[in-house]
A and B are shown apart, each in its own frame.
Chain A
Amino acid sequence: MTDLMERYLAAVKRRLPEEQAKDIIAELREAIGSKIEAKEKALGRAANAGEVAAILKEFGHPVVVASRYSGQDYLIGPNLYPWFWDAQRTGVGLVFAIVVAIAAVRAFASERPIQAVLQGIAGAIEAAIWMFGVITVIFIVLERTKTDVRIAQGWNPKTLPHGNIRAPKPLFDSVFALAFDAILILWWTKVVRLPNEFPWQGNRGLELHLSDAWAPFHTPILVLALVVAAVHVADIVYPAWSRLRSLVSIVGHFWGIAVAGMLYRARPLVDVIVSPGAEDRTRELNAIFEIGLGLAALGWAIGLGVEVWRLLRSLQVGVPGPQAAPKG
């Protein structure tokens, strides 16, 4: 019944590294041959096809046997898996939130909102699958190349977040905020276009454009948005309050209030293009934007006050930031 054995060995050989295949197969042939021989000795006759098949089955499926010679038991091993899962949660969550948010804004102004929402969800799922694939490939490469990931070894319990000045930011909040930052930056740099045409009085519509008042603030607002996004990225890595984060936050809030003030003085904030026959609502729309700007400035002022208070409190209670964690 050597035919069955040779077919089995050929199936194993196809899956072995070429340079070792000959040697491994010679050893397996000898091992299986010995087993068949022992069986035949016990039976006192030649083994039949069923008996040989049983021996081969006991030896193991060719795929399993060959894989044991590869030395690579895991696609992503137990050492990397916790980091893989954490990266997936953050990466997939972030990309899903960004695409859904962009789709929601587009659907809001679409003539077919349900279709736009469905397209948006499909796009978000596709983007999430892509992100899942990219992160998976990165971790497979790390596992294959046995890259020494020292995140766990370099970990210091003393750097765990403090919660007495402000509770650590939940991951969901940081990811959601970062998704919003990404949309704002993409829109501000004209990478994506958000709808600015709105139906108004039947078939007539109006178009909103930012006025020239914003032009001098293009770069300062972009820098502010990038700083805020960087803070939200930092929140994902280290979700606790720290003095450095507080200082950046204070500067950001102050910056926001200053820009809002200068914008207010340079108003009108929006130019409105109205369809022929539609009533001009430029004044009312500008008033809405001015109220919005005022509310934003109020929010930043409250945020500024809270951050200054936290900073002063941290000086009183002596809370170290991650950079000031005791050594050793």
Chain B
Amino acid sequence: MPDEPQLVEPPAPREIIAPGYTFGTVTDQIATVVLTRRTPLFWFGGFAVGLALLLLFLFAVAVLVTSGIGIWGIQRPVMWAYDITNFVWWIGIGHAGTLISAILLLLNQRWRNSINRFAEAMTLFAVSCALMFPVLHLGRPWLFYWLFPYPNTMGVQPNFRSPLVWDVFAVSTYATVSLLFWYVGLMPDLATLRDRTHSRFARFMYGIMAMGWRGSARHWAVYETASLLLAGLATPLVLSVHTVVSLDFTIAILPGWHSTFFPPYFVAGAIYSGFAMVLALAIPLRAVYGLEGLITDKHLDNSAKVMLATGLIVGYAYILEAFSAWYSGNVYEMAAMWNRMTGPYRFHYWTLVFCNIVAPNVLWFKRVRGKPAWLFVSSLVVLVGMWLERFVIIVSSLAQDNLPASWRVFQATRWDWATYLGTIGLFLFLFFLFIRLLPMISIFEVRTLLPQAKVEEEVHG
């Protein structure tokens, strides 16, 4: 059509994955990790650590159920401590997965194609770990379904004006949508595994899960629409989840919580810790499985940049937090901030300032971003820092509230630690199962990154 405005041809993008791959080799390299009979020693090591910590978790839960939540260190006035800290921390980690799979898809950031699969898996497992804490904190976790509105003989219903009920809906929606999105993304790759495996049992199982996917052009057309729609739905959802989590705090009138900038501050912190977890998982995985050609230094570099950017937002939020406490002129707000910086939790506070604001500044340097070992260390520092941030926000505000007579410093017990480390075990357990049983990189999306995937059009007159 001659009238059609000529789009400016964008400059040819640098190749995202290493040169030399073909459709076949990409497929084989990723599928072999799953279909091989030989499991690397690294896998057994990681799985064993995960399983051991998972058993610790089950033990801690058994003690919790038989003895009650008094085994944790929570006492008045600190009734939320490690449990809610861990909940917020895990949910936050999940956010990077949705950011990579949905927001970067909508923004047409094609480099995401090699990291979205395991990042989404990370989301799912992190949300599962997160869900443990509020449910266990109920005291009678087997009655968790009382959180949902259903017709019951007690004649009562949840209070829809409470942010804690909003949380139930936000997190359960988030878990469901993440699972659906992940599964839809897996379908074509499950078909690949079905066609590649030599084991009858595996062919049957992957075949059932692939639902008969055959790569028909009609299906792909609908599939692409579905991916875009799901990404469009997941984008506001992921921003809403941590917003709702932050509303748990801001709607209370406790000094140090009651603030309107919590939602963006929490969302930025969530993406910050999530990208740290993506790096902490990607760096060892690509080294062990020799996937440096698919998860390249460029991916690590980009993730580090996102981490740096969100880290700076978080740093800005800390400054703003201190400023608005001072500027409010409110004696309680000022005292809460002062207690955080100089009170019993000053060690936590200054460590988190170091981990979250000072340390990530090394990521400005290209030389640091180019060294996976350094990136791995800095991502662990960020994960620790973000955990401390949630701990300080939650516990320091509760421990020293408006009434000095009721102040009490929280002391974690070994069961607090056992539950927390236990969910790390649950996460590792699920994650190692995932990398053994399902392709950890989206095979079909990586195929689209290859130069051969471009259809060469003959020039029509």
A and B: interacting chains: no
Q: Which residues of A are in contact with B by a Cβ distance under 8 Å?
A: none
